[in-house]
Amino acid sequence: MNRILNLICPTSHLEHFISRKTNDENIVNYFVTSLGLGLHLHKQDQAEQLKTTLQTLEIVEIRLFQDVYCPFIQNALEKARPREFYIDHILEGIYSEQAAMADFSKADYQSKAKKIAERNLVTQLEAMHGNPTLASYILQRNLVLKGIIVNKTEGAILREFKYLPRYSA
């Protein structure tokens, strides 16, 4: 059995969606949640806890999921509430970068949300790979890192990519 750690936003309720999508595979799914998928790896205790989880569960692959209708992505696009959480600041920065591109303002909601989700996944994967506590363990165990963008409402995986760092630590 392949042991997969799925990192998800708790407000997106993706556990059932992921379990359904992997039902025919030889997989045991584990879940860790973080609001909007904003991992607090700048905090050493958070990185240590994640490493302990990876070791204890003997994880072989880490998948980060982002739903295009995640309330935090929706807020980044619609600005319906104040920025109160760590992830709000990350997504606002991503939104600002994307908004500067001409084609972004003309895109529909799902296209905008998909671009923000992808950039957030890459940001979080880079944070994992850049964290000394996690990077050495990930490289030592040769763990696979994936980013997956979904539209849970439609039951669809919109994009899946394997994270390949630009350099090796």
What pLDDT is recorded for position 152? 95
Cα distance between residue 67 and residue 30, in whole Å: 18
Q: How far apart are CA 105 and CA 56, in angstroms?
A: 45
Please report whether residue 81 resides in a domain: no
Total domains in the chain come to 1
Is residue 39 one of the residues assigned to a domain?
yes
**pLDDT tier at 156 (50, 70, 90 boundaries)?**
very high
* H or E stretch covering 62: strand 61-67
Q: Which of 111, 107, 18, 128 is nearest to 73 (CA)?
A: 111
CATH code of the domain in which 12 resides:
3.40.1050.10
Q: 163: which DSSP letter?
A: -
Q: Which of 116, 107, 5 is nearest to 58 (CA)?
A: 5
pLDDT tens, position by position, 97-154: 999 888 898 999 999 999 999 999 999 999 998 899 999 999 999 999 999 999 999 9
Kindly indicate the confidence band of residue 166, based on its pLDDT and cuts at 50, 70 and 90: low
Q: List the domain range (segments joined by +) for residue 56.
A: 2-69+117-162
pLDDT > 90? residue 58 = yes
Residue 88 counted as domain residue? no
Residue 9 lies in a domain: yes
Share of the chain above pLDDT 90, in %: 80
41 domain-assigned: yes
Query: Does residue 150 lie in a domain region?
Result: yes
In a domain, 110, yes or no: no
In this structure, is residue 153 part of a structural domain?
yes
